[in-house]
A and B are shown apart, each in its own frame.
Chain A
């Protein structure tokens, strides 16, 4: 796991566990806020893809794991694609370019301990999602058995199912990285 993240040209140290936990909370709060805003404005119709894109960007800039960039090393252990072409002027002006990663394997390849942590984080995430999927199942069952009990929810059933599936997808994209960031102890600053 990297001990600092580069965002808008600034290096932010995340060596301390507290900072990483704040980052995780901030990311999930931002995603929840985005979903709430889209739900209020469009009813999530046609705009659910924006939430997925936001989660992918969160992975690219902060979380890493399934995407190159971010704090957690790539789960697949492959080096990020290098290009000879320098960052575009627009990216440099906006300070959204990614720094060039170190040339050694340690920058992207997981060692034995990290592999074990990765697998265990996936085990925990799998269990959490396996339990969490019971909530929408219960709501969907009650909608069919006793529609009057669920009439207080000011949304159409299909919009609820769509939103809950979206939440499951977001969790699938981000949860193992969030668990790793949350549980790793304080690191030495690079």
Chain B
């Protein structure tokens, strides 16, 4: 489920203790982003530039983890089905350097086997159960905000949905990184 081809923040994810530290750092990053975003939005209305930054963070933070898309430390949940990405080590693009011969994962390397598919589904069940409660608390928080500070609700909408999307797109991957045991030497073999 975890690929060692890509690294999270430049660190190898072969050891569980390292992964757990990286998961904590990841959620701290999200908490810091959330606080900064909320603070900025409440002080003065978020402008176009702020929204673009927020959407960039929303797109790029979960892609570090992978899962929802290729390129992270978790294999893509649905494999790589887009034709230009398949067997990409045989394709030389015009405006970039030569591709490395060793260390690049192909579509076959990133396909999930039976155990990994089971793990992916199981983790999503746990995440879903957690997300039900998180959404309920967000809903209650928004309703409470409407009672206490009605003038803030207009601004808080975008924050609410970006936070929801960030947690949705990150929670299963972080649970996998947190729970998977240390990788053996055979797991860490470089892909062709």
Contact = CB atoms under 8 A, between A and B. Distances in A.
Given A126-B124, A126-B127, A144-B46, A169 B139 contact: yes
B157 A158 contact: yes
A158 B154 contact: yes
Interface residues of B, number: 38
Interface secondary structure of A, over-half rule: helix
Interface of A: 48, 66, 75, 116, 118-120, 122-123, 125-127, 129-130, 133-134, 136-137, 140-141, 143-145, 156-158, 160-162, 164-166, 168-169, 172-173, 176
Contacts, number: 100
A119 B168 contact: no
28 contacts: A48-B143, A116-B121, A118-B125, A119-B125, A122-B124, A122-B125, A123-B120, A123-B121, A125-B128, A126-B127, A130-B169, A133-B161, A133-B168, A136-B157, A137-B161, A140-B158, A141-B158, A143-B157, A144-B45, A144-B51, A145-B51, A157-B154, A158-B153, A160-B157, A161-B142, A162-B143, A169-B139, A172-B135
Contacts of A130: 68, 165, 168-169
Contacts of B156: 161
A137 B162 contact: yes
Nearest to A162: B142
B132 interface: yes
Contacts of B154: 156-158
B125 A137 contact: no
Contacts of A75: 125
Contact of A162 (B128, B146, B162): B146
A160 B172 CA distance: 28
A119 B142 CA distance: 30
B142 A165 contact: yes
Contacts of A118: 125
A156 B150 CA distance: 12
Interface string B156-185: 111011101100110010000000000000
Nearest to A125: B128
Contact of A161 (B48, B51, B153): B153
Contact of A141 (B51, B124, B132, B169): B51
A173 B128 contact: no
Contacts of A66: 132
